[in-house]
């Protein structure tokens, strides 16, 4: 670790309540919170003061309460200036759920990466019913029976927060620089939690709008989904952490959940260690239960789950760790007579 780098995570600011209040994190950078009726009960949103108005980063959920809070914030805290642009770090509906409403209501464009924008467009429609065979097979391979698959989709199909997507956008690319007021924000791409997640980094002031790439005490979901069954998102996620770790050691991290913090490299290391630990748990599981299915491994890795949405995330995350082990040559996958993928540790020296 570089001299003078923080050796622990610290929280220099008291967060605003999720009631339309704001906290100034740095000159021209405001922090507000939107409520969420979930275990994770808020999302942080940020406002960046430009010359002629404000750039908003992330929206909160598509709920009446969040829309009301945005009306309050724009009427109260923006010094009479308008919102000029919405940036969404990624497509998840706590971050971009009000994107279409912002476009209509404030007359602004939404800026996103290509990967996030079109993923948002795809998920604006619920999964087709009946499920296409490719989707059904993905869950069968994982070890769910038909009743299990139907239960999973019955639970997630009518998600109340699924939001409409705006029909046009402004594309962000990795390395782009957004000049907003006196600040220059560089787009830094993260992968693994979502396809092309945009962080914004002010290299002069050492500020990082981190989205979900770097949260101080919880870990972001890293999952394989039925859209890309052969993906290895954990490798992408760990590579993204390595890239973020190279930013200035004293960077003030503005995450999408929990509190603004310092100790970026401490946290990237903790997150890498968390996944190394999960991989170890999986190795142990496969040692005791060779030929386990992904669902069986999920019960070991995530013994506590709260419903179909949790099940989907836990299964996807288990598959992500299994994919990493397969790509590393540590685990072999075979399809059994019932159409279930079986995972086993490879013997030393054996080709996976
Ligand atoms: Zn997210």
Per-residue pLDDT tens digits of the chain, which is 352 residues long: 455 789 999 999 999 999 999 999 999 999 999 999 988 999 999 999 999 999 999 999 999 999 999 999 999 999 999 999 999 999 999 999 999 999 999 999 999 999 999 999 999 988 888 899 999 999 999 999 999 899 888 877 778 888 899 999 999 999 999 999 999 999 999 999 999 999 999 999 999 999 999 999 999 999 999 999 999 999 999 999 999 999 999 999 999 999 999 999 999 999 999 999 999 999 999 999 989 999 999 999 999 988 888 888 999 999 999 999 999 999 999 999 999 999 999 986 565 5
- Whole-number pLDDT of residue 351: 59
213 alpha carbon to ligand 1 midpoint, in Å?
A: 8
Give the Cα separation of 349 and 326 in Å (integer). Answer: 14
153 alpha carbon to ligand 1 midpoint, in Å?
A: 20
- Whole-number pLDDT of residue 159: 81
147 alpha carbon to ligand 1 midpoint, in Å?
A: 29
Task: Give the domain 23-124+163-274 fold.
Answer: Metallo-beta-lactamase; Chain A (3.60.15)
197 alpha carbon to ligand 1 midpoint, in Å?
A: 9
- Whole-number pLDDT of residue 166: 97
Spell out which residues have Cβ within 5 A of ligand 1, the ion: 92, 212
CATH code for the domain defined by 126-159+289-352: 1.10.10.10
Enumerate the CATH 1.10.10.10 domain ranges in the chain, comma separated: 126-159+289-352
- Whole-number pLDDT of residue 308: 81
257 alpha carbon to ligand 1 midpoint, in Å?
A: 10
- Whole-number pLDDT of residue 78: 97
220 alpha carbon to ligand 1 midpoint, in Å?
A: 7
């Amino acid at each position: 670790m570089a001299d003078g780098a923080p050796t622990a995570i610290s929280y220099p600011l008291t967060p605003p309540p999720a009631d339309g209040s704001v906290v100034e994190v740095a000159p021209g950078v405001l922090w507000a919170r939107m409520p969420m009726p979930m275990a994770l009960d808020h999302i942080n949103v940020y406002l960046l003061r430009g010359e002629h108005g404000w750039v908003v980063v992330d929206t909160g959920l598509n709920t009446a309460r969040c829309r009301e809070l945005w009306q309050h914030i724009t009427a109260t805290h923006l010094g009479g200036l308008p919102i000029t642009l919405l940036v969404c770090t990624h497509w998840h509906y706590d971050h971009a759920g009000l994107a279409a409403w912002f476009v209509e209501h404030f007359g602004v464009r939404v800026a996103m990466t290509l990967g996030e924008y079109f993923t948002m467009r795809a998920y604006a429609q619920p999964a087709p019913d009946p499920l296409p065979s490719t989707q059904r097979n993905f869950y069968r391979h994982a070890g769910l029976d038909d009743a299990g698959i139907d239960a999973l989709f019955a639970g997630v199909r009518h998600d109340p927060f699924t939001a409409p997507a705006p029909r046009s956008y402004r594309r962000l690319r990795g390395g782009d620089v957004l000049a907003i007021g006196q600040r220059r924000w560089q787009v830094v791409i993260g992968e693994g939690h979502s396809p092309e997640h945009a962080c914004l980094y002010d290299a002069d002031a050492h500020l990082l709008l981190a989205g979900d790439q770097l949260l101080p005490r919880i870990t972001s979901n890293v999952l394989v989904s039925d859209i890309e069954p052969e993906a290895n998102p954990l490798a992408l996620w760990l590579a993204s952490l390595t890239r973020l770790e190279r930013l200035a050691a004293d960077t003030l991290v503005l995450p999408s959940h929990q509190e603004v913090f310092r100790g970026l490299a401490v946290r990237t290391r903790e997150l890498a260690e968390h996944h190394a630990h999960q991989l170890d748990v999986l190795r142990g599981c496969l040692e005791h239960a060779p030929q386990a299915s992904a669902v069986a491994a999920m019960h070991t890795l995530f013994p506590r789950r709260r419903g179909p949405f949790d099940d989907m995330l836990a299964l996807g995350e288990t598959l992500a760790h299994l994919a990493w082990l397969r790509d590393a040559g540590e685990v072999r996958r075979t399809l059994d007579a019932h159409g279930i993928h079986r995972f086993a540790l490879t013997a030393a020296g054996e080709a996976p």
